[in-house]
Amino acid sequence: MDGDPWDRVYRFALSLSRHTQDAEDLTQECFLRINRQTTPPEQPLAWCFRVVRNLWLDRCRQREVRGEDAGQDLGSLSGNERDPAVVASFNEELTRVWRHMMDLPDRQREVLYLRAIEQMSAAEVAETLQLSHANVKATLSLARKRMRETCDPMPSEESRS
């Protein structure tokens, strides 16, 4: 996805945190860090994604230590309570697909975001997230399967759910 690097980093942060305020904080922290770099990284965006992910994991660990929810418990919210600002402009179809993606497990969500939205290859995703290629492929396969089942269920799947 082309566009402003700030927004691209922000979107990735949002896909991780699922919360606009966290995503803003992570993006700002990432750009402060990139500003302090004396030598620019070879791939600035991949570097930013990695930094944002590490920052988010640190934040989750700190919240766990403090006994807070590591991530936002979106499952307990419904409808526009979850992400009102983000989905305000979406139609019903976009809102439904968006929320199905946000309901994916963390690893599946971040891998799917980088592959489907940022159009990274599986190898690039593996390098960015520092996972094995096989792990990324397996995670992507699971994420796609789940998106197929939830976003556009077959009649038999619909009756099951």
Of 54-62, 66-74, 91-99, the window that binds another protein (rule: CB under 8 A) is: 91-99
Q: Which is nearer to another protein, 12 or 60 (CB)?
A: 12
In angstroms, rounded to a whole number, what is the distance separating the alpha carbons of residues 148 and 144? 6
Which residues, 6+ apart, have CB-to-CB distance to 106 below 8 Å?
A: 16, 71
Q: How far apart, in Å, do the first and last CA atoms of the chain sit?
A: 33
Of the candidates 56, 115, 129, 131, which one interacts with another protein according to CB under 8 A?
Answer: 115
Q: Does 131 bind another protein (CB under 8 A)?
A: no
Least Å distance between CB 34 and another protein? Answer: 6
Closest contact distance (angstroms) between CB of 69 and another protein is 23
Q: Does 134 participate in binding another protein (rule CB under 8 A)?
A: no
Contact 80, 14 (CB under 8 A): no
Please report, as residue ranges, which positions from 25 to 84 form the binding site for another protein (by CB under 8 A).
27-28, 31, 34-35, 37-38, 40, 44-45, 48
Residue 130 burial class via C-beta count within 10 angstroms: exposed 0-12, middle 13-18, buried 19 and up: exposed
SS (H, E, C) 71-104: CCCHHHCCHHHCCHHHHCCCCHHHHHHHHHHHCC
Cα distances (angstroms) measured from residue 138 to each of 40, 41, 108, 148: 32, 29, 9, 16
98 contributes a contact to another protein by CB under 8 A: yes
The residues binding another protein (CB under 8 A) are 1, 3-7, 10-11, 14, 20, 23-24, 27-28, 31, 34-35, 37-38, 40, 44-45, 48, 85-86, 89-90, 93-95, 97-98, 100-101, 113, 115-117, 121-122, 137, 140-141, 144, 147-148, 151-152, 154
